Amino acid sequence: MFKSFFNLDLDNKFQEKKSKKIKITNKVTWKKLECLVDINDTELYWKKAKLRLISEVKVIDSSPVDARKVLFKKSFIVNSATEKIIIDMSNSKSFSYRWNKININLFVELVVDDAIFFDTKITSKIQNSLFIKPKVLSPWKSIIDPKDNFNLIDNIKAIPFKAMIIVFWLSIIWSIIVLINTFVWFHDQFVSDAQTYFYSHYNSKWESSSPLFNSLASSWALWAGIWFMMKTQLRKYMTFVFKQKKFLWDKIKKYKLRDIVSWKSRVDLKNVEIRVVACNMENWQYVRWSGSHRRTVSFSEPIRAISLFNEKIDFIPRNRDIGDYLKWEVSFEKMYKVLYPEQMISSTHGLSVHFEVQLIHNKFIDQELIWDWKFFKYDHFLKW
């Protein structure tokens, strides 16, 4: 059983002075949290109190957007010197975490309604994680997002005619956007700020801002969106799908890859590499300014990436299921042993589990299938 203890973490001197009225002793496992609240001031008797268990994501950035989630709350009347509150931790599935771009803090917050403006408030924070995981020294980014080498002309020839037309029109749209954006920034660069169309000469803090650099940032963002749509069409040289949409992967069982995915190519494939990879993903948001325009950016970054399966195939004829050429089996044992379980505070903040099957080819756009992290059992990650 994993055990850790809460240490008193006071926000400021005012809170520290008031906290002498209350002492909190906590003992936690991943299944249960026991909170003992000792009241040292009889003036607090018969006052309303609230105790909450909170998970909070703190983003490591100059302009962070943090998030928090209340996992448990209880209101009560202080009527004795000691209050004991037991919280079921097995349902919350939460733990403290510190890594690259986010920290996840798990803490108890107690508020006693004993004043008009400044109530007595105590917070107790978990100082250590419930997990001890092995170090991962592999290059995380290159495992999850390997460099994609391809020949654009050959790739276009391999896709259906309808997909070719879509790629063509997306290229035209991008060209038109570049021309318009170039005209706008050129105009805004050489006129007064009051006469600009879109790109201001100053940001929200009234600091000097360049229309040229702001337009380049906008063009890059638009190109990223259009390129994503083009890649979707360029991948249509083959079908590549999961055979099962919902499946809870066993901890130590081995699976045949041909039972997991189905794939057929419209053209012959040479020198193909098949990979199964997994990692944790840190998810967060931050604020960025473009001139006077404020935008909130959602971001995800892979960490602790590992390879679960890797096989190279010299030649696969068109219209043949690639699964017929895969000899080996894949196990998820390493993934459960190395990675942390999912802990998403919201849809945009927290830690998730990422698992994907990749097809790497040096002539066509690479393929990948991403499995929904919700179908990995939390308990499988706990103890090894």
Helical spans, DSSP H, in the chain? 13-19, 140-144, 152-158, 161-189, 211-234, 333-338
Tell whether 96 and 160 lie within a shared domain: no
Tell whether 97 and 226 lie within a shared domain: no
- Residue 325 placed within a domain: yes
Successive 10-residue mean pLDDT values, the chain, 384 residues:
35 46 70 80 85 92 92 88 83 82 90 80 71 80 89 94 94 86 73 68 56 69 86 93 76 85 91 93 88 80 92 91 82 92 92 94 92 83 74
Tell whether 155 and 272 lie within a shared domain: yes
- Residue 284 placed within a domain: yes
Tell whether 114 and 158 lie within a shared domain: no
CA–CA distance, 189 with 187 (Å, rounded to integer): 6
**3 state DSSP class of 221:** helix
- Residue 134 placed within a domain: no
Tell whether 373 and 225 lie within a shared domain: yes
- Residue 161 placed within a domain: yes
Tell whether 236 and 369 lie within a shared domain: yes
Tell whether 187 and 294 lie within a shared domain: yes
Instruction: Indicate the number of domains in the chain.
Output: 2
What pLDDT score does 118 carry? 76
What pLDDT score does 10 carry? 36
**Which of 126, 150, 181 is the last residue in one of the domains?**
126
Tell whether 149 and 119 lie within a shared domain: no
**3 state DSSP class of 164:** helix
- Residue 131 placed within a domain: no
Tell whether 85 and 173 lie within a shared domain: no
Tell whether 83 and 168 lie within a shared domain: no
Q: To 10 degrees, the CA torsion angle through 132, 137, 139, 141?
A: 10
State the CATH number of the domain containing residue 112. Answer: 2.60.40.840
Tell whether 80 and 212 lie within a shared domain: no
Tell how far CA 47 is from the center of its chain: 41
CA–CA distance, 245 with 251 (Å, rounded to integer): 19
Tell whether 116 and 176 lie within a shared domain: no
What pLDDT score does 202 carry? 58
- Residue 232 placed within a domain: yes
What pLDDT score does 42 carry? 81
What pLDDT score does 366 carry? 95
Q: To 10 degrees, the CA torsion angle through 299, 302, 308, 309?
A: 70
Give the containing element (helix H, strand E) for 98. strand 97-98
**Which of 126, 152, 169 is the last residue in one of the domains?**
126
- Residue 322 placed within a domain: yes
What pLDDT score does 2 carry? 35
Please give the residue range of the domain that contains residue 330.
Answer: 140-381
- Residue 11 placed within a domain: yes
**Which of 76, 96, 126 is the last residue in one of the domains?**
126
